[in-house]
Every structure is written in structure tokens, then in C-alpha cells.
Structure 1
Amino acid sequence: MEFKDYYKIMGVPRDASQDDIRRAYRKLARKYHPDVSKEPQAEARFKELGEAYEVLKDPEKRVAYDRLGTNWKENQEFRPPPDWNAGFEFSERGFAGGDASQYSDFFESLFGRSFRFTQAGREGAAPGRGGTHDFHAPGEDHYAKVMIDLEDSYTGATRTITLQVPEVDAQGHLTTREHRLNVVIPRGIRAKQYIRLPGQGAPSAGGQGKRGDLYLEVEFRPHPYYRVDGADVYLDLPVAPWEAALGATVKAPTPGGVVELKIPAGSTTGRKLRLKGRGIPSKTPGDFFVVLRIDTPPASDEADKAFYRKMAEQFKSYNPRAGLGVK
């Protein structure tokens, strides 16, 4: 998938005002409209402009896109980082318009279903609150993705987080303000679940209704040891060849503390050992899986090499590739 430089497509600088972006789009849209344009590839250019404008006209999409930074170049191979849109506070309006399927794979990867916040999984959400102008109607709900440590889900925690709220200043330029919050992270929360903060959303449009709520969608930061699948947690555990062949009792880390683990004799790389109930805790806790990985010592001197040659002689009838049909 190729990176798209929406500013280059629109022919505007990255600090362009929202009015500058609107004017640039209107000018280029007239030039490349397929019904009237004589320019080569006008239809493709018009579609590309529409995609760029869909992002840059919307302060919420634009501030998230800007998060990617200036290091990416047009047509460069691209995959969005997992936390690229974390830490920004958005309104429901920012996700209501535009069909991602009509745009490029690049747009879909950023602003498709993974970018949208939905009512699904938000306990206590009030559908249809956004956009009303009733004087006493509650304010819009707001949404943000936040990254937490896996260990916080095991123990529960209170953390101070700072969200960036997209705004447009009096001169029409995109800016952000900080929204600082103390957040209680419930024990046992999983990725894609929400923390609801009542009254931390937008104020009522009429001024007399309640503020909206703020929903924080949880994601786990990448961990140097563990990976998470739902409520289950996985650890790749290096073991020595003799520990795998002969069996051993070794120490292994878990988010809940170090455990002593029995390695069965004759184990091979990829074997899974299950620690029931030691995954993410909840009413139905997940499991913790240790995936064995045989780690071979280096042959760093002549004595080590001699040992490996002796081992090769000892096991000369063993063919680790026999299952691949080669000798």
C-alpha cells in the first residue's frame, strides 16, 4: 500500500487554513471534473482530490492524519503504526460521513472501520445524541483511543492521561488543546473495550442540558515479552536444547509475577504450555500460554565447535527436514 500526501495532492502547505483548503479544492475540482475537463486522467485526479479533501476539510481527520508526520513520502510503501490515532479526542460527527470503500486502500487503512467508534461494546451509550439542537438536550459524546500497559489490566490502576482535542482557531488554522484527565483503569479490561467518563464530553448546545460522555477505547501498548489475543496472553520462552530434550523446571515471567514451569522431556519448538486462568483476569479469566522456542548456544570457540561435531556424529541418523520430504 502506498502513502498518499494529501497536502501535495491539494497543492497546499501543511499549515494551510481550512478556508485555503476549501478554496484549493473548489479550484481543482472545477479543473478536473470529468464532465467538463479535457485534462488527461481527469476522472482519477478528481477522485484523488475528493479523497484528500474528505480528510483535510475535517479537523478531526486532519489532525489524526498529521500525526503521521512529514517523514512519509508520496508513493512510499506504508503501513499505519498501531497507535497512530491514539491520544486524540473526537466527536461522533467526525466519523459519520464518507464511505471509506469509495476511496483508496490508504484511506481505508486510516479512516475505515478501525477508525470509527460505534455504539457496539459501549455499555450505557445513548444512541442518537449527537447533532441535536434542543436547548435541554445533552451534549455530544466524545471518543478517544488510549494505550495502556498490559500490567494495568492485571492489577487495575489510576493513570493521568492527556488527550489532544482538535480545534480551528479564529484565523481558520488547525490547532489542538489539551484535555487532562485522571482515569481509573478497571482490573480485567481488554483491548477494544471502553472506559466511560460521564460528563467529560461536549457541553450541551443549548447550555442547559448535561454534558456528553467521553468513551476511551483501550488498546495495549506493544510489550517486549507478551502478546495478547482477547483475554489470553502469550509468551515465547527460550529454552536450551538439553532442557527441551531432557525436561527441566525453569522460571518464566508472567504479568502476575514469576512462575516455575515444568518443561516436559522431548519438547520441541512451538509446543504450547497452558497456565489456566493466568491470562487477563475477569469473571471468566483468560489463560496464559507459554510457547517454547529452542535457543541454540553459539559455537564461539574450538571447544564448542568440537562439541557440536560430536553431537552431529551422535545424531547422524536424525534429519530435522524429514517432514518436508527431503533427505
Structure 2
Amino acid sequence: MEYKDYYQTLGVAKTASDDEIKKAYRKLVRKYHPDVSKEADAQAKTQEINEAYGVLSDAEKRTAYDDLGRGHQYRAGQEFRPPPDWGRGFGGGAGGPGASAGFGGADSDFFADLFANLGGRRRQAPPQRGEDSHASITIDLADTYTGATRTISLTVAERDAQDRIFTRERNLSVNIPKGVTAGQQLRLSGQGQPGAAGPGDLYLEIQFRPHNRYRIDGRDVYQTVPVAPWELALGGEVEVTTPSGKVNVTVPAGSQSGRKLRLRGRGIPGKEVGDLYLLLEVVLPPATSDKARELYQTMAREMAFNPRAGG
């Protein structure tokens, strides 16, 4: 059996605080969760991360794990067997109902052998609620303007009749409330990891699907709007399709490419609604015909315009 360095798995120091361990776990589980990760070994990595967090987030298990390593220089992957007297003082003998019921550790020989001797104490402890799970969900910008319902696929852990943990795929319908922002977490009660006292919760972090015309800053939205040269030079009204619908916008005469027009209250909705900023971007008509080239030649001759003058 190979030794597992749970601190190395989570990328934290052995002196890490509970908060540091939780932050590291959340970051890694978001990176490797099979629903969002493109890594080939995402599911195996997620199981390793869950197992490590299940030990280091539990005060008794972490103490026992640290005591085992005290005075030894165990390395990840090193051949390992618990000492014969391992577990003394932790209540109960080897095996027992709690031997393989750890968080995410049912498939790990290292976990099962290491914590088999904690079974007696576990039977006396009050039932524990399951751990919270973390994942992300990607939505379109338009979804936050109106609210939406989306279906996601999750790999979830469950317990069988022998109290062993196994995983299965299931679909979950998620209500996206109006006004959510990037990075915000949606809490789905009872959709987390299983536990003797009931499942934990699932936290979904909101991400917006990238779009070549939109940039989001908090509740403000920046949108690139293509315009023709004469619309900039002469001004006028143009129709723009925004995330909240179509709107007519007045372009001031003499505008330059890159000019920013502010539409108050048309950003992401909320108690403090954001603004929508339209960034004008000139698009030149192609000179693909004789008539078009003639018009460009006339402009060059009549206007005598040098865009680099004074640069």
C-alpha cells in the first residue's frame, strides 16, 4: 500500500489552518470537477481531493494522521503499513462499521487501513451531516437579465446498504435567479455529499459564457457596437441589440471609433442596477467592386485626410 500525503494533495502546508484547507479544497474541486474539467483524470483527481479534505477537515482524523507521521519522513507513493499498535487511544479495534465510511475514502486502501481503528469512536459520536460540494455553472449573459432554468449533470456520491460510498451520474434542474453576477454562488440545499445526519449542500459558482461583443465588470456591461464610417461622421440613430433587448441609440455627429456611450440602468439588474456602455467600433465597407474603389479614391482626393498627422 502506498502512503498518501494529504497535505501535498491539497497543496497546503502541514501547519495550514482550517480556512486555508477549505479554500484550497474549493479551488481544486472547481478545477477538477468532472462536470467542468477537461482533464482526462478529472474524476480520479476529484476523488483524491475529496479523500484528502475528508481527513484534514476532520479534527480527529487530522490529529491521528499527523500523529502517525510525527517522527517519520513518509513520502507520497512510498510503501506503507500502519504500525501494529496504530490506533491505540482512538477507541475500538480494527475494522467495524466506521472502517470504510470516510468522506471520499471508500475506494482507498490507504484510507481504509489507516482509519479502521477509529471505528469505535465513530459509533459513539453523533451522526454527522454530509460535506458541502462545490461546482460551477456557465450561463449566457442574457440569463441574468430575465432569470432562467438550466439542467446540469453531476457526479454524486451515495451510500449503499453496507455504508460504502459509490458515485453515479444524475441531472439536476437549477433555477438561475435574475441579477446573478460572475463569481456569485448559488446554494442548493441537500444536494451535497451524503451523511448519516443528511446530505450537505451544493454550491454552484456562476460563470458567464465568453462572448466576443460583451465584457462584464461587476454589474456593468461593456458592449462593442459596429458602426459605419458615415454613422460616426454624420451622426444619427442606430438600432442595437443589447442583452436586455433592442434599443435605439443616438450616435453624436463627429464621433470617433472607440467612443463610449453610457446607457444608465441597462446593466445587470439588482438592488444597485449596473450600466451598459456601448463602445463604438468603425467597420469599413470592403472595396471589392469598381464602384466601391472609385468612391474610396474620391474620398482620398476630395477630403485629403491624413489620420497620422500630428502623431
* Alignment correspondent of 2:307: 320
Residue 278 of structure 1, aligned match among 259, 262, 266 = 266
Letter in 1 for 2:131: E
- 8 Å CA contact 2:189, 2:202 repeated in 1: yes
Q: CA deviation at 1:233?
A: 1.3
* Alignment correspondent of 1:260: 248
Letter in 2 for 1:233: V
Alpha-carbon distance in structure 2 between the residues aligned to 1:59 and 1:243: 50
1:278/1:202 CA distance change after superposition, 3 Å: same
1:243/1:236 CA distance change after superposition, 3 Å: same
Equivalent pairs counted in the alignment come to 214
Alpha-carbon distance in structure 1 between the residues aligned to 2:29 and 2:184: 26
1:277/1:323 CA distance change after superposition, 3 Å: farther
Match status 1:136 vs 2:96: no
Match status 1:247 vs 2:235: yes
* Alignment correspondent of 1:68: 39
Q: CA deviation at 1:314?
A: 1.7
* Alignment correspondent of 1:214: 202
* Alignment correspondent of 1:153: 144
CA RMSD of aligned residues (A): 3.7
Pairwise mapping of residues 1-327 of structure 1 onto structure 2 (< 5 A)?
22=2, 67-69=38-40, 93=53, 134-165=125-156, 177-204=168-195, 207=196, 209-316=197-304, 318-324=305-311
1:197/1:306 CA distance change after superposition, 3 Å: same
Give the TM-score, by structure 2 length.
Answer: 0.59
Q: CA deviation at 1:247?
A: 0.2
Alpha-carbon distance in structure 2 between the residues aligned to 1:247 and 1:285: 29
- 8 Å CA contact 1:159, 1:183 repeated in 2: yes
Give the TM-score, by structure 1 length.
Answer: 0.57
Alpha-carbon distance in structure 2 between the residues aligned to 1:263 and 1:59: 47
1:289/1:59 CA distance change after superposition, 3 Å: closer
Between the aligned residues of both structures, percent identity stands at 47
1:177/1:188 CA distance change after superposition, 3 Å: same
Alpha-carbon distance in structure 2 between the residues aligned to 1:210 and 1:272: 53
Letter in 2 for 1:93: Y
Letter in 2 for 1:143: H
Letter in 1 for 2:200: G
* Alignment correspondent of 1:79: none
SS in 1 for 2:245: coil
- 8 Å CA contact 2:156, 2:169 repeated in 1: yes
1:60/1:191 CA distance change after superposition, 3 Å: closer
Runs of 4+ with >6 A deviation: 58-63
Per-residue CA deviations over 1:213-262 (Å, capped at 9, x if unaligned) read: 11000101123532222111121111111110000101001111100010
SS in 1 for 2:152: strand
Alpha-carbon distance in structure 2 between the residues aligned to 1:143 and 1:63: 8
Structure 1 gap segments, 5+ residues each: 1-18, 27-57, 71-83, 98-129, 168-174
* Alignment correspondent of 2:91: none
Per-residue CA deviations over 1:181-230 (Å, capped at 9, x if unaligned) read: 111111000000000011111122xx1x2321110001011235322221
Alpha-carbon distance in structure 1 between the residues aligned to 2:39 and 2:310: 45
Per-residue CA deviations over 1:59-108 (Å, capped at 9, x if unaligned) read: 997665972359xxxxxxxxxxxxx99xx8985928x79xxxxxxxxxxx
1:309/1:69 CA distance change after superposition, 3 Å: farther
| Greater Rg by CA | 2
